[in-house]
A and B are shown apart, each in its own frame.
Chain A
Amino acid sequence: MAFGGTDRPDAEDEPASMRNVLAAAGLSLLYLKAIDWAGFYLATPLFLAAYLATFGERRPLRVALFSSLSSLVFFFAFTSLLFISLPTGQPEALYRLNIVIQQFFLSIGAAS
């Protein structure tokens, strides 16, 4: 019996569930790589949509709505309110795009 910590020996060891874990790990890794390369402001909505789609959410409207709304929440909370600096991407074009979004949310924060 494992006490303490978060060990919970309840999950069943099916091949399907193992595939899910690998998919979640792969997506997380891709997301972290994408934050660095494409910038936080572009990677986040794409990741949220990809995560939902991978784990069986098939209604496109829901995926789009959830990923864009929660991205807006993140941008507002961390850029407009907390001024946390987040990665803005490597290639020139993507960097410009990130900066536009970042400046927009910074200006909201300054106005409010």
Chain B
Amino acid sequence: MSGYELLLSGLGALLHDPVAIGLLALGLLGGSVFGAIPGINMLTLGAVILPFTVRLEPGHAIMLYSVIYCSGVFGGAITAILFNIPGAPENAATAIDGHPMARQGQARRAIGVAILCSATGGIVSTLVMIGAAQGLARWAISAIQPAEIFGIVVLGLAISATVGAATIWKGWLSVLAGMLLATVGIDPVESTPRFTFGSYSLYAGFQTVPMILGVFALSEILNQSRRSPQGRDAHASGPPVGLAELWMHRVTTLRSIVIGFLSGLVPGVGATLAAFVSYGTAKALAGREGTFGRGDIRGVISAETANNAATGAAMIPVLALGLPGGALTAMMIGVYQLHGMEPGPLIFTNAPDIVGLVFAAMLLANVCILGLGWLEARTVPHLRRIDIRYLMGFLLVLSSIGAYAERNLMIDLWVMFGAGACAWVLRHSGYSLTGLVLGLILGRIGETAFLKAMIINDQSFPNMLSRPIMAICLALAATITLVGICRSLRVRLPGRAATAR
């Protein structure tokens, strides 16, 4: 079956399945509400519900995460425009021009454009993804062996280390810390216990679910407790918007789709960076004629198109290779693991119904953003009045149940607390939590792949390097790291000169 046939059968299955429709609606609502409330975002939601997806069918669970991804990336745009508070980091670039537009009485225009652009970017990207994912998977089955997986993992880690944190050093430290945590427990090939300190509880290593709950839910709860709740009143005003506006800026829209899609494809980049890269390109190309930073509509278009265009592309490595590129896609791998499934290209032959369901759900979710945006523009001013204290206590209880439910061991609760407390300290000293979690999850995948590849290639690393894809990935990873290091050194030198003066 081709990708589009899978989409059609998935659409048929989804629309005949009341549970799937219900989950689609819940995912849309949950993603956009968590995206819109400043402080918590779709990662908090994804972490909190992760342990309970074990009760769902695997197809439903993966579908739910893809829907949350689409709606969560969009959800914060409206708070970014109205209050200059991006509900989620993905929408930070939207605020740069969106909020000035709101202050000039063009809030409704900015919101309308954001909604249209998110839907357009998401739909196009999903359609391209559907066409490309299966072909890539078919190619991957023969071309991608453990050595190549190892190469791609190293490349993904190098990229997320370079872009995720305040400096490249902190980025690498975040990733390496995650990889170090991944080594705890029995090693995947020789079954030697490592870093267990004689404790049986550590033989299975740090479980993915409590770690994700700690890093994304508990650290967020700790973070929110430092602010007192505040409410500001603002509402959408100004003239509404039509599709004509998008057509007028079709070049910007198209370029943003391409940039967003390509950024989403690369592991470690994701929707947040896609929005910034696209915004930066639009600004640079406009030169001096634009009013970027003071309310240029193209700023909103470039950022909101690109972040949703990244979501479809980010699903390609997850489905075709079983490799996550960001925090939310890493949780999808967690869903696979909870259901005892092997993520990777074989999913197209073993479980085409799951793939079809994901395709259909992502397409529908992006179409639904149009209606959701309309709804959200009316309700967001009220969402701001939610007293965050009530939500936080509730979320902590939910996280605790989730951490305990998988294995019924208290150790998982302590792991969650330790991870949460450390993550809070790390995020406030410029380290990257996404880098940490990718290090943990990709570290495990990468280690297994490396050990398998060594066995296949007669325990010889040079033999492995003769595989072109792997060699290219490692070379790219080295280049990216070196360029990042050089840039950080060059930035520091003029900085020092300036302070000396």
Contacts and interface: CB of A to CB of B under 8 A. Distances in A.
A55 to B, nearest CB: 5
B401 A74 contact: yes
B276 A6 contact: no
Nearest to A2: B166
A84 to B, nearest CB: 5
B216 A28 contact: no
Interface size class of A (residues with CB under 8 A): 35 or more
B413 A32 contact: yes
A20 B221 CA distance: 11
A24 B225 contact: yes
A74 B218 CA distance: 18
A32 B404 CA distance: 10
Contact of A44 (B276, B327, B397): B397
A103 interface: no
Interface stretch (B57-65, B131-139, B386-394, B468-476): B386-394
Interface string A20-55: 110111001101100110001000100110011001
Interface in A44-79: 44, 47-48, 51-52, 55-57, 66-67, 70, 74, 78
Interface string B151-195: 000000000100111100000000000000000000000000000
A86 B216 CA distance: 23
A51 B272 CA distance: 33
Contacts, number: 129
A6 B163 contact: no
A3 B400 CA distance: 29
B226 A3 contact: no
B292 to A, nearest CB: 16
A107 interface: no
Contacts of A29: 417
B164 A5 contact: yes
Given A5-B432, A47-B393, A86-B404, A35 B55 contact: no
A35 B400 contact: yes
A5 B435 contact: yes
Nearest to B51: A84
Given A4-B270, A6-B220, A48 B393 contact: yes
B457 interface: no
Contacts of B390: 52, 66
B410 interface: yes
B433 A7 contact: yes
Q: Which of A8, A32, A57 has the most CB of B within 10 A?
A: A8
A25 B434 contact: no
A6 B427 contact: yes
A18 interface: yes
Q: Which of A5, A24, A55, A82 has the most CB of B within 10 A?
A: A5
5 closest cross-chain pairs (CB), A and B: A17-B226, A5-B434, A24-B225, A51-B393, A4-B164
Given A35-B413, A47-B397, A66-B390, 13 more contacts: A6-B41, A6-B89, A6-B216, A6-B220, A11-B226, A21-B222, A48-B394, A52-B393, A56-B389, A67-B393, A70-B393, A82-B52, A87-B410
13 contacts: A3-B89, A6-B216, A7-B165, A7-B432, A21-B222, A32-B414, A48-B397, A51-B389, A66-B390, A70-B394, A74-B398, A78-B401, A82-B55
